[in-house]
Chains A and B, each alone.
Chain A
Amino acid sequence: MFDNLTDRLNAAFKKLKGHGKLTEKNIQEGLKEVRMALLEADVHYRVVKKFIGDIKERALGQEVMASLTPGQQIVKIVNEELTELMGGHLTDLNLAGSFPSSIMLVGLQGSGKTTTAGKLAVWLSKNGRKPYLVPADVYRPAAIDQLQKLGQQLAVPVFPSSAEMDPVQICKDARTKAHKEGLDTLLLDTAGRLHIDETLMDELGRIKDALKPSDILLVADAMTGQDAVNIAQAFNDALDIGGVILTKMDGDARGGAAISIKSITSKPIKFIGVGEKLSDLEPFHPERMSSRILGMGDVLTMIEKAQAVVDDKKAAELEKKLRKSEFTLEDFRDQMVQIRKMGSFSDLIGMIPGMSTNKHLKNLEVDEKEFTRIEAIINSMTPRERRQHALIKGSRRKRIAKGSGTRVQDVNKLIKNYTQILNMIKKINKGGMRGIGRGMLPF
């Protein structure tokens, strides 16, 4: 089975080679593959049906029929239309309205509302706002404690709710208090509830009426299946939401729920949650999401991450050194530190197209500790050793191993890997990329 839509379509069209021109029937076959890919990504059945109907005309048009690479053409069309469907560009939080403004977070149990409230508080603080966390979940045991702890960690004030209070009253009192204390943005963390629980849905309506929030955000789990349409529809019908936050995007879910939710509510996805740290909240990029749903990786995010950590001046220096084949163990360490700043290795691999589905890489357990070990070894060398690795013979290796708390074998392995890289650099400088065979990369 193919995980990636491009591979799939190419395989489907390969069968047709030698049959002369593509026919309408061939294209239909291709669309079937698109349909499968979307359904496997958890896009709702009816949403897929409508989408395929909508793109059929374009797929049957000249651009595909006349193309030498019909598979890629169809992927391009699907990608463009999906991006369009999810909303062409970024949409910000709505913070307009009277002082203080309120943002209301709603959703099912376990979708990640409380953690998201903490993350939004960080985001708002960074953007010059003064957030006020308001725990309005009086049902789940210790939900209020959870938000209070998050507030402490972040040094963001939290309204002192208690489980005996009424959620609507909590929100009203919090607004009065925020007004008094000059806090400009309330983050209302409501209890998780089922969209079919009328009593609790009604409670949300009363909070909305009382506070008139400037934004109401549905917090939804990126792993949600076909039920996403029912959930989104019910919350939107009850509250006329302003947008969606998609959580748990750091896993391996394709996130087809994003399309289902968008197409059923026409409301934009504003943020995505991408990790357990409270800074792990990112604006939503429709075109990246589209690539992800189709299993095509997320190169843009990776490039962005790389740009954020790479120091231009250092990069230029390194380039110069590389040209002269003067890549020392010190440079090796610096490079490693920079790569690690981009995030965990497994996350990075997941962003490279095709890599996430690569059988060998899927099982590749990148031990992040290995990097710490390498760093420790290099740190235990003298500056001179780092610049001239040839100096490092037996007794020095023993000393370095002892100093870094590793074994001599570890030191040997590192030096072997490093010399391989060095040889590779020399080869590139001599004859370009030729001569670099598979398996020569040290990692």
Chain B
Amino acid sequence: MTNQEPLPKEPKESKGFFKRLKTGLSKTRQLLNTDIEELFSNKRKIDDDLLEELEELLITSDIGVQTAMDLIQSISQRSSSISDAGQLKDALKEKILALLGTKTPPPAPLAAKPYVIVVIGVNGVGKTTTIGKLAAKFAASQKKVLIAAADTFRAAAVEQLVIWADRAGVDIVKHKDKADPAAVAYDAIEAAVARGADIVIVDTAGRLHTRVNLMEELKKIKRTIAKKIPDAPHEILLVLDATTGQNALSQAKMFNDAIGVTAIALTKLDGTAKGGIVVGICNALEIPLKYVGIGEKIEDLQEFDPDLFVDALF
């Protein structure tokens, strides 16, 4: 959070996603006073108390009441083959991995040139920061990146993105405040084609998914991009905040209905929230979780690893 110095050219050795998540989560444990190690200790027998604690653990991860109950039910049906808490934990992990869809999302084809990514989400989830990190990530792998500053609504959103583009050392296309976002996107695509850019990342204004007119605006941005490149946008990345509870499902559904989401980025996993709601989202909408944000530093946007994520849930 405090490090706002220009991005390092060579990303520093990271502490490791798993370790970071574990550190973050150990703080959750202290706050909730739940001894998770004890909960799953091998000696413990499966009884009602254990199941109740398990229920608490699942629900407090924001996984949702229904999903939590389904999981517990499916586990207790298999209780004959599970003799201790350790096995229970493994069985549960397996179930959640299945819900998440273990197949990792297809790697960005990047065959298309330029490959167009539109980034969407409600207000304050971290779209701009995610774009900054993504741009730096692509730039580090020698891709020519261009950012479209199509959030023309929020005060100083463009200025914020300009700073990120500077740090990442990539180009940016911007218009005046309150300009038509679709026009910004169009110009950016045109510029990307002219300059031979590999990737275009389009920022959009945060909007609540319940606002019909703002969802129409997104559709227009998508149509406008397709006018220039028929199979674009190639990726529509929905940014979700791990702190969000059950409403994230409503967000995912409505954004998906409006313009079709192809991948999800889950941000702010470095706090004490666990973002369990994505389990239900990935399962219900069959949209892969592609990136997770676990901090303010450049290397803190990582490709999603289901095993690590599920490990960190417990």
A residues lining the B interface (CB < 8 Å): 1, 36, 39-42, 44-46, 108-112, 139-143, 145-150, 153, 163, 191, 193-197, 199-200, 221, 223-231, 233-234, 248, 250-254, 256-257, 276, 344, 346, 350, 365-368
> Assuming the A-B contacts A146-B156, A149-B155, are A224 and B268 also in contact, with contact meaning beta carbons closer than 8 angstroms in the complex?
no
Q: Please encode chain B, from 274 to 302, with 1 for each CB lying within 8 Å of some chain A CB and 0 for all others.
A: 10010000000000000000000000000
Most chain A beta-carbon neighbours within 10 Å: one of B27, B125, B241: B241
Interchain residue pairs A-B with the least CB separation, the first 3: A225-B245, A110-B124, A42-B245
Question: Is the beta-carbon distance between B1 and A194 smaller than 8 angstroms?
Answer: yes
Name the CB-closest residue of A to B126: A110
Chain A residues whose C-beta falls within 8 Å of the C-beta of B32 in the assembled complex: 230
Quick one: which of B1-52 are within 8 Å of A by CB? 1-2, 4, 24, 27-28, 31-32
Question: Is the beta-carbon distance between A142 and B156 smaller than 8 angstroms?
Answer: yes
Quick one: which of B228-278 are within 8 Å of A by CB? 241, 243-248, 250, 268, 270-274, 277
Quick one: which of B156-192 are within 8 Å of A by CB? 156-157, 159-160, 162-164
> Assuming the A-B contacts A226-B60, A366-B212, are A141 and B1 also in contact, with contact meaning beta carbons closer than 8 angstroms in the complex?
no
Complex CA distance for A366 and B62, rounded to whole angstroms: 32
B94 interfacial by beta-carbon distance below 8 Å: no
List, sorted by A's number, 20 A–B pairs whose CB atoms are closer than 8 Å: A42-B62, A141-B4, A141-B163, A141-B164, A145-B160, A191-B1, A194-B270, A196-B271, A221-B243, A224-B244, A225-B244, A225-B273, A227-B273, A227-B274, A230-B273, A251-B247, A252-B209, A252-B210, A344-B211, A346-B212
B122 interfacial by beta-carbon distance below 8 Å: yes
**What's the dominant secondary structure at chain A's contact region?**
loop
Chain A residues whose C-beta falls within 8 Å of the C-beta of B160 in the assembled complex: 140-143, 145-146
Chain A residues whose C-beta falls within 8 Å of the C-beta of B213 in the assembled complex: 368
Question: Is the beta-carbon distance between B156 and A145 smaller than 8 angstroms?
Answer: yes
B312 interfacial by beta-carbon distance below 8 Å: no
Complex CA distance for A153 and B154, rounded to whole angstroms: 12
Q: B10 CB to closest chain A CB, in angstroms?
A: 22
Q: Looking at the complex, which one of A39, A221, A250 makes contact with B59 (CB distance below 8 Å)?
A: A39
Name the CB-closest residue of A to B167: A141
Name the CB-closest residue of A to B271: A194
Complex CA distance for A142 and B128, rounded to whole angstroms: 11
Task: Beyond the given A226-B61, A251-B208, please list 10 additional residue pairs across the A-B interface where CB-CB is below 8 A.
Answer: A42-B246, A44-B60, A45-B56, A109-B124, A110-B268, A145-B160, A224-B245, A225-B246, A233-B31, A253-B246
Complex CA distance for A224 and B209, rounded to whole angstroms: 16
Q: Looking at the complex, which one of A141, A147, A196, A231 makes contact with B27 (CB distance below 8 Å)?
A: A196
B65 interfacial by beta-carbon distance below 8 Å: yes
Question: Is the beta-carbon distance between A365 and B59 smaller than 8 angstroms?
Answer: no
Complex CA distance for A276 and B155, rounded to whole angstroms: 11
Name the CB-closest residue of B to A111: B124
Complex CA distance for A278 and B269, rounded to whole angstroms: 30
B residues lining the A interface (CB < 8 Å): 1-2, 4, 24, 27-28, 31-32, 56, 59-62, 64-66, 122-126, 153-157, 159-160, 162-164, 208-213, 241, 243-248, 250, 268, 270-274, 277
Question: Is the beta-carbon distance between A227 and B272 smaller than 8 angstroms?
Answer: yes
> Assuming the A-B contacts A141-B159, A146-B156, A153-B155, are A252 and B247 also in contact, with contact meaning beta carbons closer than 8 angstroms in the complex?
yes
Most chain B beta-carbon neighbours within 10 Å: one of A1, A224, A231, A254: A224
Question: Is the beta-carbon distance between B244 and A200 smaller than 8 angstroms?
Answer: no
Question: Is the beta-carbon distance between A256 and B245 smaller than 8 angstroms?
Answer: yes
Chain A residues whose C-beta falls within 8 Å of the C-beta of B2 in the assembled complex: 139, 199-200
Complex CA distance for A179 and B126, rounded to whole angstroms: 36
Name the CB-closest residue of A to B127: A110
Name the CB-closest residue of A to B33: A46
Q: A168 CB to closest chain B CB, in angstroms?
A: 14
Question: Is the beta-carbon distance between A223 and B212 smaller than 8 angstroms?
Answer: no
Chain B residues whose C-beta falls within 8 Å of the C-beta of A346 in the assembled complex: 210-212
Chain A residues whose C-beta falls within 8 Å of the C-beta of B126 in the assembled complex: 109-110
Question: Is the beta-carbon distance between B210 and A221 smaller than 8 angstroms?
Answer: no
Chain B residues whose C-beta falls within 8 Å of the C-beta of A40 in the assembled complex: 64-65, 246
Q: Looking at the complex, which one of A45, A149, A153, A196 makes contact with B272 (CB distance below 8 Å)?
A: A196
Complex CA distance for A257 and B246, rounded to whole angstroms: 11
> Assuming the A-B contacts A45-B56, A142-B160, A221-B243, are A109 and B268 also in contact, with contact meaning beta carbons closer than 8 angstroms in the complex?
yes
Chain A residues whose C-beta falls within 8 Å of the C-beta of B62 in the assembled complex: 42, 225-227
Name the CB-closest residue of B to A196: B27
Q: Looking at the complex, which one of A36, A108, A150, A253 makes contact with B247 (CB distance below 8 Å)?
A: A253
Most chain A beta-carbon neighbours within 10 Å: one of B153, B160, B163, B243: B243
Question: Is the beta-carbon distance between B1 and A197 smaller than 8 angstroms?
Answer: yes
Chain B residues whose C-beta falls within 8 Å of the C-beta of A42 in the assembled complex: 62, 245-247
Chain A residues whose C-beta falls within 8 Å of the C-beta of B248 in the assembled complex: 223, 225
Complex CA distance for A265 and B229, rounded to whole angstroms: 53
Chain A residues whose C-beta falls within 8 Å of the C-beta of B4 in the assembled complex: 139, 141, 163
Q: A223 CB to closest chain B CB, in angstroms?
A: 4
Q: A219 CB to closest chain B CB, in angstroms?
A: 10
Complex CA distance for A251 and B211, rounded to whole angstroms: 8
